[in-house]
Amino acid sequence: MDWQLSPEDHATFRATLSSYNNPLGGGVDQAIALQEARSNFQSAELHLVASLSSLIGAAMHNDAQLAFNTSDRELTPIDPGIPRGFIQVRSTLPDGSTGNTTVQFGATGSRPIKAASGRSK
């Protein structure tokens, strides 16, 4: 939102809100993982900025800004009760080389995480 308060003064207010929900999108550190090894991930962020620009005479310009940011993030394992495990799979590929991958099953290896932060300047 912009306001022309007077011929010399201009005010601006900006607000941005974002929300992100990624089911089964967090907590995995292997290329292949079964569903119970995954976590749900959610994030919400808010950014507020207010500014005032003023002309003082013909040669001076003054800007003042106030900003505030906050964010909340949550990582929730699907089933933390199942022990974490890995299976290593090796195969001979059609070109004769050996393929190797690790499959993760069970819990994510991390506990539920809920984090919040805020900052103003």
Number of domains in the chain: 1
Q: Which two tokens stand for residue 20?
A: 């992100």
Domain extent, residue 57, equals 2-112
Task: Locate all alpha helices (DSSP H) within 1-121, ordered by sequence.
Answer: none
Give the separation between CA 24 and CA 105, rounded to whole angstroms: 13
Task: Give yes or no for a contact between 100 and 88, defined as CB atoms under 8 angstroms apart.
Answer: yes
Domain membership flag for residue 120: no
Domain assignment present for 35: yes
Tell me if 107 is assigned to some domain.
Answer: yes
Q: pTM for this one?
A: 0.56
Q: Establish if 117 belongs to a structural domain.
A: no
Rounded Cα–Cα distance for residues 44 and 67 (Å): 17
pLDDT per residue as tens, the chain (121 positions): 889 888 889 999 999 999 988 877 666 666 666 666 677 888 899 999 999 999 988 889 899 999 999 998 887 777 666 677 788 889 999 999 999 888 877 665 556 666 767 776 6
